[in-house]
Structure 1
Amino acid sequence: MDFNIDEAWADMMNRLTSWLDSLIVNLPNFILALVVFTMVIVLSKYVSKLTWKLLEKSSLQRSMKSLIAKLLSILVILTGLFLVLGILDLSKTLNTILAGAGVAGLAVGLALQGALANTFSGIVLSYIKHIKFGDWIESNGYEGEVIDIDLRAVTIKQSDNNLIYIPNKLVLENPLRNFSTTAQSRVILKCGVGYSSDLEFVRDLVCKTIKSHFENIENTKEVIFLYTEFGDSSINFETRFWIKSTSAIELLKAKTTAMIAIKKAFDQNGINIPFPIRTLDFPKDFMKSS
């Protein structure tokens, strides 16, 4: 028993001595590898900042610029990692890592299909010009101002200041309405007047009222007035006009201003906006039968 312990102790000491000798021999390589890796980390940060400065004046969106800067930084770090493994003479380990990365990448790709789809969609959304920061959009039943586009979701701020996060995949695959693609927006206002009203006078009054309250209406964009139907209690009409704004809030404000002005003009000229009514017709002998 004593012989086995002594032999094991001697074997352990020989191994430790061998490892210590290897460490001393390879110590310059370890120091060089540490210096190279440190320089690579610093270089990656510098490349990221330099990329931001070079892309600052480009028309790419902020999310796309961030993605390019991160990819270049990761590429520099991976290159430095390969150099460090080469300095440490770990080429076999490098081949093993690459082989394992391929298998692990396949497994991760299958497990994260949804996340990868959102990432790819985020890259596409960052590149196209149909949607950008500051645009007022409507997508997937939500409406608001685009304040961020990252690799996971599009963030929009609604008119009530709430934030909505829509996955990039849904924004890319579903219809998107962008109110900011043009410099103007159309206001559509519906109303009705009584059957006893002078329809030509109502038309002229509405057009005149709207033009007098909205100075930014261009001459080439005249107010459109259309009677739409004979309703149950009123003759309904629709008026359309343009304003120089693409914000949904400004559209609502313009519509409110138009409604107040038209109601005031109708009151001053004795024009009635009827509310729904129902007429009950009783037979002549109704009271007698009771």
Structure 2
Amino acid sequence: MKEQFNTALGNLVDKLIGWFNTIIENIPNFILAILVMIASYFAAKYVGRLVKRLVSRRIHQDSIKNAISRVVAVVVVALGLFIALGVLNLGKALTSLLAGAGVVGLAIGLALQGTLANTFAGLILSFRKKIQIGNWVETTGYSGEVMDINLKDFTLKEADNNIVIIPNKTILENPIKNYSLTTKMRIFLECGVGYESDLEKVQQLTKEVIATTFDQVKSVDDVEFYFTEFGDSSINYLCRFWIDAESMLEKMKAKTTAIIEIKKAYDKEGINIPFPIRTLQFDNSLDIKGNSKAQSTTQNEK
């Protein structure tokens, strides 16, 4: 029993001595690994700030800039960790760490599939020059001013001051109309005049009103005017002209101004804008005769 105890104690001492020798031999590597981690930490902070400055030239959203700088900082720290493990000759630990990170990353990706999709969509939208904060856009049935683009959603403010929050993935997968990309918009104005109207006079008067009302319309020739159909109660026409505008609100205001001025001109010249009229005709003579005959028949029977 005593010999077994001495043997076990000797083995333990040999193990401890071996570990101590290994620690002594690897002290330089351990110190170097610590220095690598410290250097990677400060390098991550510096690179993160540098990336944030570079990204600020293209992106104005603070949430997007902070997210990109943090991701870059995490990547730099991860590289420093892998280098430190390599310095310590922990190749097996490094392989196990990479394998575990892959499995965990796959599980997180499956669990947060929708969130990650919105995050990457937000990053893509932030780098798109054709979609900027302040633009007036129309997408997925909503129209308004772009208020914010973050890592989760796309925020619009509609003309009635309502806020619409749309997931970034939906914006990226659907068509989007950006009114702010062009400095001009076309106004379409439809109306009708009475059949008794002088059509040539209506055409000339309408074009003159548009040309004098809007500074963007240089001459009468810039206004398009077409009669479209013989309607039920009026002869209908389509008038088109261009204005300088970048939002739907400006377009609606211009159309309102055009309607007011055209109505004033028509009233002054006596041009009628008719509305549908339905005439009901009742043949009372038949009813009266029918009623009188029925009454006389009833009296005779009595």
For residues 90-115 of structure 1, the C-alpha deviation after alignment (integer angstroms, 9 at most, x for no partner) is 55443322111111222222223323
Distance in 1, matches of 2:157 and 2:31, equals 52
Q: Which residue of 1 aligns with 2:273?
A: 273
The residue aligned with 2:237 is 237
Greater helix content: 2
Name the SS for the 2:188 alignment partner.
strand
Letter in 2 for 1:232: D
Tell me, in whole angstroms, the C-alpha distance in 1 between the residues paired with 2:102 and 2:52: 31
Q: Do 1:221 and 1:241's aligned partners in 2 also have CA atoms closer than 8 Å? A: no
Please give the alpha-carbon distance, in whole angstroms, between the structure 1 residues aligned to 2:220 and 2:168.
39
Report if aligned partners of 1:137, 1:144 keep a CA contact under 8 Å in 2. Answer: yes
Aligned equivalents of 1:223 and 1:70: distance in 2?
55
Contact 1:221 1:242 in 2 (8 A): no
8 Å Cα contact 2:85-2:94 kept in structure 1 = yes
Gaps (5+ residues) in structure 2? 1-11, 292-302
Shift of 1:124: 3.3
Q: How does 1:151-190 map to 2 (within 5 A)?
A: 151-190=151-190
State the number of aligned residues.
272
- The one-letter code matched in structure 2 to 1:212 is T
Cα separation, partners in 2 of 1:259 and 1:163, compared to 1, 3 Å: same
State the match for 1:11 in structure 2: none
Output one character per residue of 1:224-275: Cα deviation in whole Å (capped at 9) or x when no partner: 1122222222222221111111111111111111111111111111112222
Output the CA distance in 2 between the equivalents of 1:112 and 1:265: 62
Greater C-alpha Rg: 2
Residues 48, 218 of structure 1: CA spacing in aligned structure 2 closer, same or farther, 3 A cutoff? farther
| AA partner of residue 97 (structure 1) | L
Unpaired stretches in structure 1, ≥5 consecutive residues: 1-13
| 1:78 matched residue in structure 2 | 78
Show the 5 A alignment for 1:1-290: 37=37, 40-57=40-57, 60-62=58-60, 68-83=68-83, 85=85, 91-219=91-219, 222-283=222-283, 285-286=285-286, 288=288, 289=290
**TM-score, normalised via structure 1 length:** 0.78
Secondary structure at 1:285's aligned position in 2? helix
Matched-pair contact (CA < 8 Å) for 1:138–1:176: yes
Superposition deviation, residue 172 in structure 1: 2.2
> Aligned partners of 2:265 and 2:192: how far apart in 1?
14
> CA separation in 1, counterparts of 2:172 and 2:239?
34
Rounded Cα–Cα distance in structure 2 between residues aligned with 1:204 and 1:241: 14
Distance 2:138 2:182 in 1: 15
Identity %: 50
**What amino acid is the match of 2:110?**
L
CA-CA distance at 1:42 after TM superposition: 4.0
* TM-aligned CA distance change 1:161 to 1:41, over 3 Å: farther
Letter in 2 for 1:164: V
Q: Partners of 1:148 and 1:220 in 2: how far apart? A: 42
- Residues 277 and 35 of structure 1, relative CA distance in 2, 3 Å threshold: farther
> What SS does the aligned partner of 2:190 have?
strand
Provide the rounded CA distance (Å) in 2 between the counterparts of 1:258 and 1:204.
15
Q: Which moved more, 1:68-77 or 1:169-178?
A: 68-77
**TM-score under structure 2 normalisation?**
0.75
Q: What is the CA RMSD across the aligned residues, in angstroms? A: 3.4
Determine helix, strand or coil for the equivalent of 1:180. helix
